[in-house]
A and B are shown apart, each in its own frame.
Chain A
Amino acid sequence: MSARIATGLLLGWLLLVFVFIFAPIVASVIFSFNSDRFPTIPLGSFTTHGYDTIFADAEIGEAARNSIIVSLSTSVIATTLGFATAYTDYRYRFRFKGPYLALILLPPTIPLIIMALAMLAWLSWIGASGQLWSIIIAHSVLTAPFAMAILRLRLHQIDPDLEAAAWNLGSSEWRALRSVILPFCRPAIISAACLTAAISFDEFAVAWFVSGLNKTVPVIILEIVQGNIDPQVNAIGSLVFLTSMTLVVLAQLFFIARVGRT
Chain B
Amino acid sequence: MKDPLVVLSSVVKRFGTFTAVHRLDLEIAQGEFIAIMGPSGCGKTTTLRMIAGLETPSEGEVRISGRLMNDVPVHERDTPMVWQSLALFPFLNARENVEFGLRMRGVDTVERRRRAMEWLERLEIGAFAERSVDTLSGGQRQRVALARSLVTEPRILLLDEPLSALDAHLVIRMQGVLTRLQRELGITFVHVTHSQSEALAMADRIVIMSEGRVVQIGRPREIYRTPGSRFVAEFVGRNNILSGVSRGDAIETALGTFPAAGLPAPGRPATLVIAADLVEISQAPRDGAIPCSLISEEFVGATVTLFLEAADGTELKVQVPERALGELNQQAGSRYHLSWPADAGHALTET
B87 with A162: CB separation less than 8 A = yes
Which residues in B have their C-beta under 8 angstroms from that of A47? none
| Interface presence of B83 (CB below 8 A) | yes
How extensive is the interface on chain A, given as a class?
Answer: 20 to 34
Please report the C-alpha to C-alpha distance between residue A164 and residue B54 in the assembled complex, in whole angstroms.
8
Which residues in B have their C-beta under 8 angstroms from that of A69? none
Closest CB-CB distance, A180 to chain B, in whole Å? 6
| Interface presence of A261 (CB below 8 A) | yes
**Beta-carbon contacts under 8 Å, B84-126 to A:** 84-85, 87, 89-91, 100-101, 103-105
Given the interface pairs A184-B90, A262-B90, the reply to whether A168 lies near B52 with Cβ below 8 Å is yes
Select which of B78, B79, B91, B103 is within 8 A of A184 by beta carbon: B91
How extensive is the interface on chain B, given as a class?
Answer: 20 to 34
| Interface presence of B14 (CB below 8 A) | no
| Interface presence of B74 (CB below 8 A) | yes
Which residues in B have their C-beta under 8 angstroms from that of A171? 75, 104
**Beta-carbon contacts under 8 Å, A155-196 to B:** 159, 161-162, 164-173, 175-176, 179-180, 183-184, 186
Select which of B79, B83, B103, B134 is within 8 A of A161 by beta carbon: B83
Which residues in B have their C-beta under 8 angstroms from that of A169? 75, 80, 100-101, 104, 148-149, 152
A167 with B81: CB separation less than 8 A = no
Select which of B79, B81, B104, B134 is within 8 A of A175 by beta carbon: B104
A164 with B90: CB separation less than 8 A = no
Q: Which residue of A lies closest to B54 (CB)?
A: A164
Most buried by B among A159, A165, A167, A173: A165
Which residues in A have their C-beta under 8 angstroms from that of B149? 169
Given the interface pairs A162-B89, A261-B90, A261-B134, the reply to whether A167 lies near B75 with Cβ below 8 Å is yes
Closest CB-CB distance, B276 to chain A, in whole Å? 38
Please report the C-alpha to C-alpha distance between residue A172 and residue B81 in the assembled complex, in whole angstroms.
16
- The 0/1 profile, CB within 8 Å of A marked 1, for residues 138-171 of chain B is 0000000000110010000000000000000000
Which residues in A have their C-beta under 8 angstroms from that of B76? 170
B81 with A165: CB separation less than 8 A = yes
Q: Which residue of B lies closest to A158 (CB)?
A: B90
Which residues in B have their C-beta under 8 angstroms from that of A176? 75
Which residues in B have their C-beta under 8 angstroms from that of A161? 83-85, 87
Q: Which residue of A lies closest to B74 (CB)?
A: A167
Please report the C-alpha to C-alpha distance between residue A243 and residue B100 in the assembled complex, in whole angstroms.
40
Which residues in A have their C-beta under 8 angstroms from that of B73? 167, 172
B75 with A159: CB separation less than 8 A = no
Q: Which residue of A lies closest to B100 (CB)?
A: A169
Given the interface pairs A159-B85, A262-B134, the reply to whether A168 lies near B90 with Cβ below 8 Å is no
A168 with B81: CB separation less than 8 A = yes
Which residues in B have their C-beta under 8 angstroms from that of A186? 91
Select which of B75, B84, B85, B91 is within 8 A of A172 by beta carbon: B75
Which residues in B have their C-beta under 8 angstroms from that of A261? 90, 134
Please report the C-alpha to C-alpha distance between residue A184 and residue B103 in the assembled complex, in whole angstroms.
18
B83 with A170: CB separation less than 8 A = no
Select which of A164, A168, A183 is within 8 A of B91 by beta carbon: A183
Please report the C-alpha to C-alpha distance between residue A159 and residue B90 in the assembled complex, in whole angstroms.
10
Please report the C-alpha to C-alpha distance between residue A169 and residue B112 in the assembled complex, in whole angstroms.
14
Please report the C-alpha to C-alpha distance between residue A172 and residue B243 in the assembled complex, in whole angstroms.
55
**Beta-carbon contacts under 8 Å, B49-64 to A:** 52, 54
Please report the C-alpha to C-alpha distance between residue A173 and residue B78 in the assembled complex, in whole angstroms.
15
B152 with A168: CB separation less than 8 A = no
Q: Which residue of A lies closest to B149 (CB)?
A: A169
Closest CB-CB distance, A157 to chain B, in whole Å? 10
Closest CB-CB distance, A149 to chain B, in whole Å? 22
Closest CB-CB distance, A15 to chain B, in whole Å? 37
Select which of B78, B81, B89 is within 8 A of A180 by beta carbon: B89
Which residues in A have their C-beta under 8 angstroms from that of B54? 164, 167-168
Select which of A165, A173, A262 is within 8 A of B83 by beta carbon: A165
Closest CB-CB distance, B161 to chain A, in whole Å? 12
Q: Which residue of B lies closest to A161 (CB)?
A: B87
18 A-B pairs besides A159-B87, A165-B83, A166-B100 with CB distance below 8 A are A161-B84, A165-B81, A165-B89, A167-B74, A168-B75, A169-B104, A169-B149, A170-B105, A171-B75, A172-B73, A172-B75, A175-B75, A175-B104, A179-B103, A183-B91, A184-B89, A184-B91, A186-B91
24 residue pairs from A and B, CB less than 8 Å apart: A159-B87, A161-B87, A164-B54, A164-B74, A165-B87, A166-B89, A166-B104, A168-B52, A168-B54, A168-B74, A168-B75, A168-B81, A169-B149, A170-B78, A171-B75, A172-B73, A172-B75, A175-B104, A180-B89, A183-B89, A183-B91, A184-B89, A184-B91, A261-B134
**Which 4 A-B pairs have CB atoms at the shortest separation, nearest pair first?**
A165-B87, A161-B87, A170-B104, A169-B101
**Which residues on A are within 8 Å of B, measured CB to CB?**
159, 161-162, 164-173, 175-176, 179-180, 183-184, 186, 261-262
